[in-house]
Amino acid sequence: MTSSATTTWQHGCRAAVVSAATAVVLTSGVAFGPDASAAPVDPYEFAAAVDREAISDHLETFQQIADENEGNRADGSPGGVASADYIVQVLTEAGYAVEVQEFTTESGSESENIIASTPTGRDDNVAVFGAHYDSVPEGAGMNDNASGTAALLQVATELIATEPLNNQVRFTFWGAEETGLEGSAAYVDSLTDAELESLIVYYNYDMIGSPNYLIGVEDGKADSYNGAPLTEGSAAAMDLQTDYFDSIEQPWQPSEMCCTDYNPFHDAGIPIGGLYTGGREAPKTDEEYEKFGGVAGEFPDPNYHTAGDDLANVSLEAIDINTGVIAFAAASLGASSESINGIAPTEPTTSPSGSPSSSGSVPPSTSPSTPTSPPSSPPTTSSPPTSSSTSPEPSATPTPVRSTAPTTPSPEPVPDRKPFSGSMAETGAPALAVIGAGALAALTAGTLLLRRRP
């Protein structure tokens, strides 16, 4: 590390890595922060309402970034930097006070984590959700891991509009995962003992849109992980996700934990969980075909870590399904963490009750605030987007800050992902409603049309 100082971060401070010039016009219904009069959102309603079309827009933006930067978004590369800038831009415009945590990788290059915590909720009882945003140099990394990044990014932009929350929810986007889980390790290393003790759970979302997908829930009930017993609370973290899937009759199966950004959290004693839709570990079995469809005998993601991991390699259906459980877990833990760590909410809250229909949705009685759609193009080196007369004043938008991680992690080699294991869950008809409408209208000039998935 060169310094532990914190400095103001502003858009436009980096070299040009994208060609599009953007002017973003906001509608009068945009939510830039919590509505103090709002009631806590029902987790089932929130899961159904997250704007899936906005997630597709995020994916297209990440593909465009790769297309304009030698076909990849690798850590420290122009495409990786542009991806980080885009994430910061979306979170900042949604109303988060974003921290950009800089760290030096084992190779000596600079990287950064992006951290956004909800403004309300106990900061001594925090649920952490994460996804890595970097790709391998060989490709755009759309399944690995623009899929997890895009879904988590949209859940974050919409959760802030549902506040107040009882517990803080923290959204983290890691750099340098592909070089050895360096970003998540740097973050965990930077936390004090008190900060570690404040964490309820860490959920990781890495590869949640495999084209020949499986719906895998990381197995928090395994006997051990990384040679040590799983942290207490990991089984309950798994149950929170599987109970949601069961309630909407969505088939799932346990996935053996391995080799991604929950490693440092587990090593620090934090309960862990997550989702995974499969890579190149083993072809889809006949039994898995009966549960999830697709093609038996073929890998869930034959393009893992190759140039073929582009927008056409992503299953939007898989992302839709997984987005529901991400949103459900975030809203549930924002309301109460009692199921994982035994801490009851200190304020009246809306907790999950009843069961949604098989479509995964219920008629909303208290809908979340209108969600914010993403910008229509990557960030540029120009000044931050200006708002129309009907939009909130730019001064109301928090300014991201930069901080420096105090230590440099020593990464370990990360093998390819693992096979699924364990017994199958009960099957049902997979269905999840795609609901919600974006409130942010974006006008772009000089941009290329983004390629949509056929």
Q: What is the pLDDT of residues 242-271, one digit of tens each?
A: 999 999 999 999 999 988 999 999 999 999
Q: What is the mean pLDDT of residues 135-157?
A: 99
Look at residue 61 and tell me if it is in a domain.
Answer: yes
Structure confidence at residue 398 as a pLDDT band (50, 70, 90) = low
Residue 393 has pLDDT above 60, yes or no: no
**pLDDT tens digits along 201-212:** 999 999 999 999
Q: Which residue has the tokens 């988590």?
A: 152
Angle at which helices 316-335 and 147-159 pack, to 10 degrees? 40
> Total structural domains in the chain?
1
Beta bridge partners of 261: none
Could you tell me the residue range of the domain that residue 330 belongs to?
A: 7-445
Question: In the beta sheet, which residues pair with residue 153?
Answer: none
- In-domain check, residue 279: yes
Model confidence at 369: pLDDT above 50? no
pLDDT of residue 407: 52
DSSP assignment, residue 430?
-
Predicted local distance difference test score (pLDDT) of residue 261: 95
Q: Residue 358 carries which DSSP code?
A: T
Query: What does the block give as tokens for 418?
Result: 């693992």
Split at pLDDT 50, 70, 90, the class of 307 is very high
Across the chain, what does the average pLDDT equal?
Answer: 78
Question: Between residues 419 and 203, which one has the greater pLDDT?
Answer: 203
Over 80: is that where the pLDDT of 281 sits?
yes
Q: Which of these ranges, 13-17, 136-140, 213-217, 333-337, has the smallest mean pLDDT?
A: 13-17
Residue-wise pLDDT for 160-182, tens only, equals: 999 799 999 999 999 999 999 99
pLDDT exceeds 80 at position 363: no
Is the pLDDT at 30 greater than 90, yes or no? no
Residue 71 within any structural domain of the chain = yes
Between 75-89, 298-312, 439-453, the lowest mean confidence (pLDDT) is in 439-453
Do the domain assignments include residue 453?
no
Q: Which of 45, 99, 112, 177 is an active site residue?
A: 177
Asked if residue 454 belongs to a domain, the reply is: no
Question: Which residues does residue 242 pair with via DSSP β-bridges, in sequence order?
Answer: none
* pLDDT of amino acid 181: 96
pLDDT computed for residue 40 by the predictor: 72
| 60 a catalytic residue | no
452 within domain boundaries: no
pLDDT at 154 over 60: yes
Q: Is the pLDDT of residue 311 over 50?
A: yes
What token pair was written down for 332? 């549930």
Nearest to 183 by CA among 199, 204, 153: 204
What's the average model confidence in pLDDT over 261-288?
Answer: 97
Residue 361 has pLDDT above 90, yes or no: no
User: For residue 450, is it within any domain?
Assistant: no
Of 159, 161, 135, 136, which Cα lies nearest the Cα of 147?
135
Confidence band, pLDDT 50/70/90 cuts, at residue 374: low
- CATH number at 67 reads 3.40.630.10
pLDDT for the residue numbered 28: 29
User: What's the CA angle centered on 356, arms 354 and 358, to 5 degrees?
Assistant: 140
| Residue 48, Ramachandran bin (φ over 0: left; ψ between -120 and 50: alpha; else beta) | alpha
Q: Which pLDDT value is given to residue 343?
A: 97
Look at residue 2 and tell me if it is in a domain: no
CA distance readout (Å), 241 to 146, 159, 360, 418: 21, 18, 13, 20
| b/e burial code for range 153-172 (CB count within 10 A of at least 16 → b) | bbbbbbbbbbbbbbbbbbbb
